Structure formats: structure tokens, C-alpha cells
Structure 1
Amino acid sequence: MLDLRKLRYFLTVAEELHFGRAALRLHLAQPPLTRQISAMEAELGFRLFDRTSRTVTLTAQGRSFLPYARAVLEQVELAQVMADKLAAGRAGQLALGYASSIALSDLFSQALQAFAQRFADVQLTLVEGASVSQWSQIADGRIDIGMSRMQPPCERSDIQSLSLGDEPLVAAISSDSPLAAQAQVTLAELSEHPLILFPADYGSGLNEAIEQLYRRDRLPVRPGPSGRQITSIIALVAAGQGVALVPRCAQALAKQGVTYRPLADPSATAPLLVLTRKQGRSQLVDAFMGVLDELLQARAPAVGL
């Protein structure tokens, strides 16, 4: 099998068409270079150059072989560049899990954009899933980072959680409801209507935050239909199937037949968390966390997400 050193020798002689000049470029004496080219020709089974005392020219086989040799060396150079980027934590793969409502957050989209601009050689994979499902996926390496609305339980000591702040909740109401005419609504008023949530077995952090608010105020939850994505929840509101409490960023889903109203209680919020493994975090995970930190610093002291 040909080695890369001989390919470089061949390419240099092919470019110079002069063994003396090629030897100077390669920092070799001419006789060893001549021997290496001859050895390469013996390995290939054909002559690469026609040589006289005055001229060096490529043979027909040499001309045909030249682009393949050049391509191999170019790929080796690219591989070395990529290896250097991988070693420096500037290339590779990063899997990011997220709860469906978080995809609508400005912080989420800004983080993706800033990270992609700085780390163009990183293949970023997005994995949508409920907050609870992210815990096992982070632990076993299926995803590297999770953006969630639910704090992992104490027994998940293998997962690190960092708060990115709290996002105000707003009420999503059918536009023909009397509540839609109000400037703001209360939880007590909403409790008189069916509440549209994610399915109980879905593991939603948003469900948990909403149910805690109802329990805190000792309000009954009138179960309504459920949706597995924030878009389906908003569609059910538009269909007059009940009311929903959604993060303020969900107002970006400007669906006909749905009116969003702020809550009278400013403490009605949903958390936004970022989850990672405690052990074995990659440089790319640290880089993404750095991007998030910069964005949060730039937003301070703004309230909400």
C-alpha cells in the first residue's frame, strides 16, 4: 500500500517537473528523492515520469494517477483540520432535547442561532420530548443537553440542573368566550372551565407547574381534552374545548379563534431549566452552556423569557 510520504514526493515532482527543485521544496537531497520515486513506480507497476538528462515529464499513466494522488492528500489535510477542531471542541455532534413549549422561546432560538454561527462544524440534532423523558436520555447519552420545565427528582443525582429563569404564564381562551373581553383573568375564573393539558402520562413539566398553581390556590381542575404538543393544545382552545395555561412565548402561535390574556397573578410562571450529565460532559456541552450564559447576561435585568 502506498504511503502518504511517497504521494507527497510524487505530487511535488509532478508540480516542479524537476527533481532538483522538488528536492529543495521537500528539504531532501536529490538522490533519496529519486530512489523514493523509483520505489513508488515499482509498487504501482508503471512509470510515473519520463526522465532524460535535461527534462522530466509525466507519463500518460502518471497524468492519470495525478488527480487521485492530489485528492488523497487534500482529504488528509481536511481530516487533519477536522481532527484539530475535534480536539479543540469546535466540531462533532451535539444532541439537544427540548419540551415542545420551549421551542417557542426566544432564548431557545437565539441560543441555536448563536451556537450554529460559532460552531459551524458541529452537527446539532434536536429531539423533542417531555421533560420526564429527558432524564433517562441524558443519563444514557442519547441526548447531551435537555431544556425542560421540570426539576429532576433528588434520586437523579447523575443529572445537573441549572435554572434559566421563569416564564410568565398566560391564558389561552376561545375568542368567543366572555373571558376574552377582559384585560386579564384570574385562576379562579379559569377554574370554571375545562383545562386543556398534556396527557397525564406524558411527563410534562408545564403540567406540573400549572397543577401546583391550582393546588396552591385550592382550586379544582376541571379536566378537558389533552394534546401532546403545544400546537395541539392551542388548536383545542380554538375549537372551544376549554382553556389552557401556556408560557408567554406561546403567543407566537397566533391562531384564529384564540385570544391570549395575562393572568392577574404575576407569580404564575413556568420554570425553564437546562439539564446535563454531571459526569463526562463534552467540550461542546460546555460551549453551548457558555452561549446560554452569554445570552442570559445580555438579557439581564429583563424579566421573563
Structure 2
Amino acid sequence: MLDLRKLRYFLTVAEELHFGRAAVRLHLAQPPLTRQISALETELGFRLFDRTSRTVTLTAQGRHFLPYARAVLDQVNLTQTIARKLATGSAGQLVLGYASSIALSDLFSQAIQAFAQRFPDVQLTLVESASGSLCSQVADGRVDIGMSRMPLEHGQTGVQALALGDEPLVAALSSDNPLAHRESVSLSQLSAYPLIQFPADFGSGLNDSIEQLYRRNGLPLRPGPSGRQITSIIALVAAGQGVALVPECTRTLAKKGVTYRPLTDAEACVQLLILTRNQGRSLLVEAFMGVVNEWVQTTRPT
């Protein structure tokens, strides 16, 4: 195996084309440098330099070998840099799981953008999942961080949740629905229409919050068709198949035939939670949480 130190010596001499100047750059005496180059030539089986008392030039083999030697050393330097970044938590892989409606929020896009700018050597993998499954995925390590709308179950261990605040719910209505012409609507008015939700077995935190809201207000919930993504739910609204209650960030889905209206019920909100493991959080997880906390501090009303 070639000695990396000898390759560095060769590269320095090739750049200087002068053993004396190369020795100064390498903080070596010239005789040891000459011996190391000769030893490298012996290992390679060909001369790297033509030397006279006044000049040093690369041989044809030396010129051909030079870019390969430089590539090896560049890769070694890159490997050392990445190793240092891994040790300090500024490189590696981070898996982020999220509920579909959360992808529409400002927090989601801005936190990812800020993190990517600050840690460009981190490979960020995004996994869309129902809120109900994110807790177990975080607990068993399939996901490093979960962004969910479902509070932890009582007695849940191994995972902790950071609440980032409540987001108002809005009504998504077909534009020809009579309620779409009002400035705001109430839950009581919406209860007269089929409610489009995620499938019952999907494990949606949004479903749970809405169903609790209906129960607290003593309102009947008329089940409508279901969609496995927030975009599917809005498409069903546009098709006149019912109404939907969605986080306010869903307004960014400006689909033709759909009108969004605020609710008169102040309690109609849904939580945004970030899930992480209780123990063994990596430096990358800590770094991402730091970015999220900064975002929360800058956007929180004073």
C-alpha cells in the first residue's frame, strides 16, 4: 500500500519543481526528502522526476501519475473533514417523519431550510407518516424526529413531545356551499354536512382532535368519504363530497372550487408537536431542535 506521506512529498515537489523549496514547505531537510522520493519511485517501479544540478522536471510517467496522487490526497482530506464534522454533529443523516398536513406549515419549510443552510453536509430524509405511527417510529429509531398532531398516550415511555403551540382550524368548503358565502362559520353549522377526514384506521392526530371537538360541543359527526392525504381531502371538498376541518396552513392549497373560512369557535385548534427519544438523542437531533427553538422564539408574539 502506498504511503500517504510519500504521496504528499511527491505532490509538493511536483508543485515546486525544486527539492530545496519543497523541503522548506514540508519542514524537512532536503536529504531525507530526496530519500523518500527515491523510495516512492522504487515502490512504483518508475522514475517520477528527471533531475539535473539545476532543474527538476516531471517524467512522462510522473505527469500521468500526478492527478491520481492528487485525487487520493484530496479524498483523504475530505474524509478527515467529514470525520471531524461527524464527531461534532455537523454531518451525517437525519430522518424526519411528519404528518401530511404539517408539510404545509411555515415551521416545516423554514426549519428545514435553516437547518440545511447551517448543516449542508447532513443528509436529511423526509418520511410522511400518520401521526399515530410516528411515536413508535421515533421510539424504535426508524425516525430521528417526528412532527405530529397527536399527543402522547398516557404512560408512553421512551419518547418526549415538545408542544410548539396551537394552530387554528379552518373550514374547507365547496365554493357553491351556502356556508362559503359567510365571513365565518360555526361547528354547529358544519355538523349538518358530511365531514371528510383521514381513514378511521389511519391513526390521524387531526382526526382525533376534530372528533374530540365535536364531542365537547355535543355535536353529531356525520362521516363523509376519506382521503389518506390532505390534498386528497381538499380534492373531495372541491368535488362537493362534504366539508373538512383542516389546519390553517392548508389555505396554501388554493384549489379551484374550494373556499376556506375561519371558525367562530375559538377552541377549534390543533396542536403541533415534535417527538424525540428521551435518551440517546444524537448531536444532529439536538442541532435540529436548536433550529426549531430559534424559529419559535423569533415568531412568538412579544
Task: Using structure 2 for the length normalisation, give the TM-score.
Answer: 0.96
Aligned to 1:300: 300
Gaps of 5+ in 1: none
Aligned to 2:24: 24
Distance (whole Å) between structure 2 residues aligned to residue 244 and residue 48 of structure 1: 75
Q: Which moved more, 1:189-198 or 1:24-33?
A: 24-33
Aligned to 1:69: 69
Deviations 1:69-99 (A, max 9, x none): 1111112122222222222211211111111
Aligned to 2:167: 167
Residue pairs, 1:1-305, within 5 angstroms: 1-301=1-301
Deviations 1:123-154 (A, max 9, x none): 11111110111122212222111110001213
Distance (whole Å) between structure 2 residues aligned to residue 37 and residue 141 of structure 1: 50
Instruction: Give the AA of the match of 2:130.
Output: A
Runs of 4+ in 1 over 6 A off after TM superposition: none
Instruction: Give the AA of the match of 2:174.
Output: S
Task: Using structure 1 for the length normalisation, give the TM-score.
Answer: 0.95
How many angstroms does 1:55 deviate by? 2.6
RMSD of aligned residue pairs (Cα, Å): 1.3
Distance (whole Å) between structure 1 residues aligned to residue 58 and residue 241 of structure 2: 80
Gaps of 5+ in 2: none
How many angstroms does 1:196 deviate by? 0.6
Instruction: Give the AA of the match of 2:150.
Output: M
How many angstroms does 1:167 deviate by? 0.4
Deviations 1:14-60 (A, max 9, x none): 12222222222211122221221111111111111122333322211
Instruction: Give the AA of the match of 1:10.
Output: F
Distance (whole Å) between structure 1 residues aligned to residue 81 and residue 234 of structure 2: 47
Distance (whole Å) between structure 2 residues aligned to residue 12 and residue 249 of structure 1: 58
- 3-state DSSP of counterpart to 2:180: helix
Instruction: Give the AA of the match of 1:210.
Output: I
How many angstroms does 1:65 deviate by? 0.6
Distance (whole Å) between structure 2 residues aligned to residue 46 and residue 140 of structure 1: 56
Distance (whole Å) between structure 2 residues aligned to residue 256 and residue 12 of structure 1: 66
Distance (whole Å) between structure 1 residues aligned to residue 116 and residue 110 of structure 2: 10
How many angstroms does 1:156 deviate by? 2.7
- 3-state DSSP of counterpart to 2:115: helix
Instruction: Give the AA of the match of 2:67.
Output: P
Distance (whole Å) between structure 2 residues aligned to residue 198 and residue 48 of structure 1: 70
How many angstroms does 1:112 deviate by? 1.3
Distance (whole Å) between structure 2 residues aligned to residue 291 and residue 262 of structure 1: 30
Distance (whole Å) between structure 1 residues aligned to residue 17 and residue 110 of structure 2: 54
- 3-state DSSP of counterpart to 1:39: helix
Distance (whole Å) between structure 1 residues aligned to residue 260 and residue 23 of structure 2: 76
Deviations 1:253-297 (A, max 9, x none): 111111111111111100000001111111111111111111111
Instruction: Give the AA of the match of 1:171.
Output: A
How many residues are paired up?
302
Identical residues among aligned pairs (%):
76
Distance (whole Å) between structure 1 residues aligned to residue 236 and residue 22 of structure 2: 75
How many angstroms does 1:6 deviate by? 0.4
Distance (whole Å) between structure 2 residues aligned to residue 154 and residue 32 of structure 1: 71
